Chain A
């Protein structure tokens, strides 16, 4: 990051290699569309380069990059919502290989896919910040304190947001099953 702050573009490659997959999973967990997720991650690295001079260097760049990615994901979500594209089940070809690989039978693959779609709807109905908390907790396995630091929220707010989010998702998932 110190090299980035000096405008050294060579420093981008190691930064991308180190954080790419993690940031991609945050954006994908939030948006559930792989092209959007990739765009967001690319933009996050560009933003990081442009804002490197403002980074104080006192901490790991990971949470800072995560926060940029979450904010950009929220922006992309809003933009998609304005265009009526927010949701939701993965488009054909989006990680079908991942979904197909998890079950030995076609039926199980279909079931997994339906479950993933229901989950997408439940996540999509959460308020933006609550969804970010859920993604960081359950897709990144960050501790509550790390989530608080990443999102600039108090620990108590993280706990109550996550608790409310899980209840909200439960209601949505239960509604979808009936």
Chain B
């Protein structure tokens, strides 16, 4: 009995606010008939909220008519639609995602042999030759060439990883909150932050070796900053903003071309 009272008492306020119906409403009403204290509470609640509901229901904006005729709005919408891209759907999504994925696959196929060619010797192998001896064995030109190749290799890898992050955001179709139209971008924000931390090592320390990549690196940095600010579960329109920005800057194509150039 006491439990029923405690359970139903919590709903007295909801009943007074008109938020119960059906069996729930019947149960609380039956309880009110037997509980004077609850009746008093319901009465007080109704008195308190009644004026608020009355104020809302007498608001003239409830019956406001639009000040622009429907035909005019329809024309405006049609014009806006004509200026905008075709219906999104999943088709348009894949128009972006597929070429990007293909580019990544191509990069993945081409990059490893090239990286292998320029990959530095394992540390253990290098330390067996003291720097002085190495200098004696290698000319200054040869050392400069190696340093240059390493800087360019590092920049290529950085761009490739950044490209992966951007594609993973642009191509995500995984709903994390369907009701709120949110998409899961997984670890992309975190990876963006990691890449941004490494950026100066690539751009600044790379010096003249990566001079031609500065424009792409700057645009990649801007895009990564956008992604870095996203939560893991992000509104679809925010994903679309990143996607549009990447498209507008032709960033994936430029990353691909620059990666090839850096790889020699």
Contact = CB atoms under 8 A, between A and B. Distances in A.
Interface in B14-65: 14, 17, 19-21, 48-49, 51-53, 55-65
A24 B52 CA distance: 23
A82 interface: no
Contact of A166 (B21, B53, B67, B81): B53
Contacts of B90: 53-54
Interface in A1-37: 4-7, 9, 12-13, 16-17, 20-21, 24-25, 28-29, 32, 34
Interface stretch (B68-76, B159-167, B196-204, B207-215): B68-76
B24 to A, nearest CB: 10
B78 interface: yes
A16 B58 contact: no
A41 interface: yes
Contacts of B76: 42
Interface in B162-217: 177-181
A98 B68 contact: no
A77 interface: no
B66 interface: yes
A20 B64 contact: no
Given A46-B80, A170-B48, A29 B62 contact: yes
Contact of A119 (B56, B74, B85): B56
Interface residues on B, range: 35 or more
Contacts of A99: 60
Contacts of A25: 61-64
A162 interface: yes
A113 to B, nearest CB: 9
B117 interface: no
Contact of A24 (B14, B66, B89): B66
B92 interface: yes
Given A46-B77, A53-B90, A163-B14, 19 more contacts: A6-B87, A12-B74, A16-B70, A29-B61, A42-B73, A50-B85, A50-B88, A53-B92, A54-B89, A54-B90, A95-B61, A95-B64, A98-B61, A116-B61, A122-B55, A151-B179, A159-B20, A166-B52, A166-B53
Sorted nearest first, the 7 A-B pairs with minimum C-beta distance are A53-B89, A152-B179, A138-B56, A16-B74, A45-B77, A24-B66, A98-B60
Interface of B: 13-14, 17, 19-21, 48-49, 51-53, 55-68, 70-71, 73-74, 76-78, 80-82, 84-92, 177-181
